[in-house]
Amino acid sequence: MKRYWLQWLTLAMLAVMLVTLTGCRSVKYIPVTEYRDRYVSKTDSFIKTDSVYLHDSVSVFTKGDTVYIAKTRYKDRFKIVYHTKTDTVAVHDSIPYPVKVEVEKGQSAIDKVFVWLGKMAGILLVVFTVLIVYNLVRKH
């Protein structure tokens, strides 16, 4: 008869230990965005040539009572223009990546009362087990 209540006591202690090992936590992955700024520069260089050839000539000929007018004018203009254009673009990237976060559910007032009662029951259980073991050792 004594052995049966001792077995029930150990089963009750195992049940209490299993209940206390469970928790209210769960792991969730929350997407968090990270922002990165980068600057992209593009440089364009080009050469522009501008040339002007001007040819002007006036020729007047008469043979009798001689009038000879010959004007010839040449102008060559070469213009070389170097252009360098730089465009800078600021790129603002957002990169989402998951973050592992442990989420714990809050306790209500009833849950807090049950936790307190469970702690008291655990303390009483430990005290009674110590007393029972002490009585068993003292009898032998």
Q: CA quadruple 8, 9, 13, 19: dihedral positive or negative?
A: positive
Number of Cβ within 10 Å of residue 122's Cβ equals: 14
Instruction: For residue 96, give the 3-state DSSP assignment.
Output: strand
Contacts of 13 (CB under 8 A, 6+ apart): 125, 129
* CA nearest neighbour of 76 among 50, 54, 48, 58: 54
Q: Which two tokens stand for residue 13?
A: 């202690």
Taking each helix axis as running N to C, give the angle between helix 2-21 and helix 109-139, from 0 to 180 degrees, rounded to the nearest 10: 140
Examine the pLDDT at 1 and tell me if it is beyond 60.
no
Give the pLDDT band (50/70/90) at residue 24: low
Q: How many whole angstroms separate alpha carbon 57 and alpha carbon 12? A: 124
What does pTM read for this prediction?
A: 0.30
Q: Which two tokens stand for residue 10?
A: 């150990």
Q: How do residues 87-138 score in pLDDT, each as one tens digit? A: 888 888 888 888 888 777 777 788 888 889 989 998 999 999 888 888 888 8
Report pLDDT for 58: 80
Amino acid at 112: K
